[in-house]
Structure 1
Amino acid sequence: MQNKIQLYTDGSSRGNPGPGGYGALLLFGDHRKELSQGFRRTTNNRMELLAVIAGLEAIKKNELPVTVFSDSQYVVNSVEKGWLKTWIKTDFKGGKKNKDLWKNYYELSKKFTVNFVWVKGHANNPFNNRCDELATAAADGKHLLVDVGYEEAAN
């Protein structure tokens, strides 16, 4: 049995901002779970990050390590290069975007051992491609939610 969880993620936005969605695919041993949701007005970066959050929230076994595969350099570099730690320490000084989601991710990540791997988007990775399909279908869906964090910040 595999001893770590793989989480593939992707976000999509039809316009930036515009309708958007995320897709996430969790793999653990023989288990596979797909997640997606669409929002009426958001950004691509928010959906990339929300895919990671949704995937982590769906994990029931906090003691297992999680490898997140993302085609978002914004998400991967923010965590792996330590930018997020600096943003947290300075309370996102300078107007760093997506504070609500980053704080959510940061608190959630304390439950896990998480590492990120960047994968090339729209390439030959079937799991990343599936997440792209989920994200774009969610963005194009009819029952779009309100991205409260985005819409409050935009007003």
Structure 2
Amino acid sequence: MESTTQQFCCMMIPNLVNPHSSPWAVLPAGIHSASLQEVERAFASNAKRRRLFVGLRQACKALRYAGCTKLFLDGSFVTAKPIPGDFDICWDPSGVDPNRLDPVFLDFDDKRRNQKLKYGGEFFPFTWQAEPGKTFLAYFQNDRFTGQPKGILSVDLTCEPLE
């Protein structure tokens, strides 16, 4: 009898909170693991959010194709803002094959216009500096309105059925 191993990736997105009077509720401080299915269920709740989720999913496929195994999701998409502008992703560059990476992920011209046109969001390698002394991974964990800590989502692309 042949033995098989099945890998399960179980997560749960926490409820949004607003302890610091931001314009809308945000994820509680910390990095919270989530599957794309959970992200869709929690945040793709209207036509604009569904369009953004389609772009997010396509970006995940493209990043995984290049060898990316993990990304972190931020932006108004993962808040209670009724009509979010976009999503923001910082992705793990370790193991990424630059020959397979969609060049738009490294196109930062015109406020990342081409990234937003193609996928609906903005993308940054998580090790890059967002501001002096702060990587994008750290930068994403602060509320831009209050300066207070807030949460982001972590998506393990090795667990995602993106075919």
TM-score greater than 0.5 by the shorter chain: no
The answer to which structure, 1 or 2, has the higher relative contact order (CA under 8 A, 6+ apart) is: 1
Structure having the higher strand fraction is 1
Please give the TM-score of this superposition, normalised by the length of structure 1: 0.28
Task: Tell me which structure has the larger Cα radius of gyration.
Answer: 2
Which has a greater percent of helix? 1
